Amino acid sequence: MAKYSKLQVIQTITETGLVPVFYNSDVELSKKVLKACYDGGVRVFEFTNRGDFAHEVFIELVKYANNELPGLILGIGSVVDPETAALYIQLGANFVVGPLFNPEIAPICNRRLIPYCPGCATPSEIGAAQQAGCDICKVFPGDVLGPAFVKAIKAPMPWSQLMITGGVKPTKENLEAWFKAGVTCVGMGSNLFPKEVIEAGEWNMISELCAQTLEIIKSLR
């Protein structure tokens, strides 16, 4: 069961502007990454459903966050069907993210007052998702669509709250382009978790990168 209300989740995503996106099959390594992000000021984290038994890792992360990381909102990503959404909601997901919009997922999340952030790549998909009750839509793939797409969407649909994911970098130049275009927040994966840093276990570097990214976002608003 979700620990945080839908309003709390949406407010935190909007206020911080950053949602780290991460997956690893190792529970202890995932906990260290989660703690590193938390120490860097992150309060919303998306663990992705990208491997066998990912739900077992997620269960442990939920317990860890609830016991050791007060205020951290943990959600699940890479969800493409309602059955998977229902599973993770039962396991404690506070929000559900997908690479695509599946209208069958929306009622599952709405019934439990869980934010559903579907992946959208056209105005029609965004409009359909909003009609289904999705407050924040994920624009994906971001590096393919670009900031110009976000700006174009916001012109006729200024109420849209968009989370860009895919190719977002923790640099002022990259973030400035997105936030000037009008995104509500960014989802950031591999660029926030350099492979060599993970392999070396340099968790403080991830904390510093998160803190720097949050500071840049704050300065752009």
Digit-coded pLDDT (tens) for 199-220: 999 999 999 999 999 999 999 9
Give me the residues paired with residue 137 across strands: 162
Eight-state DSSP code of residue 162 = E
Q: Long-range contact list for 55-58, CB < 8 A, 24+ apart?
A: 55/87, 55/88, 55/91, 56/27, 57/24, 57/25, 57/26, 57/27, 57/30, 58/88, 58/91, 58/92, 58/93
pTM: 0.97
User: Phi-psi region for residue 167, left (φ > 0), alpha (ψ -120 to 50) or beta?
Assistant: left
Q: 6-220 belongs to which CATH class?
A: alpha beta
Determine the 3-state secondary structure of 119 from DSSP: strand
Predicted confidence (pLDDT) per residue in 45-103, tens digit: 999 999 999 999 999 999 999 999 999 999 999 999 999 999 999 999 999 999 999 99
Known catalytic residues are 46, 138
Determine the 3-state secondary structure of 163 from DSSP: strand
Predicted confidence (pLDDT) per residue in 9-24, tens digit: 999 999 999 999 999 9
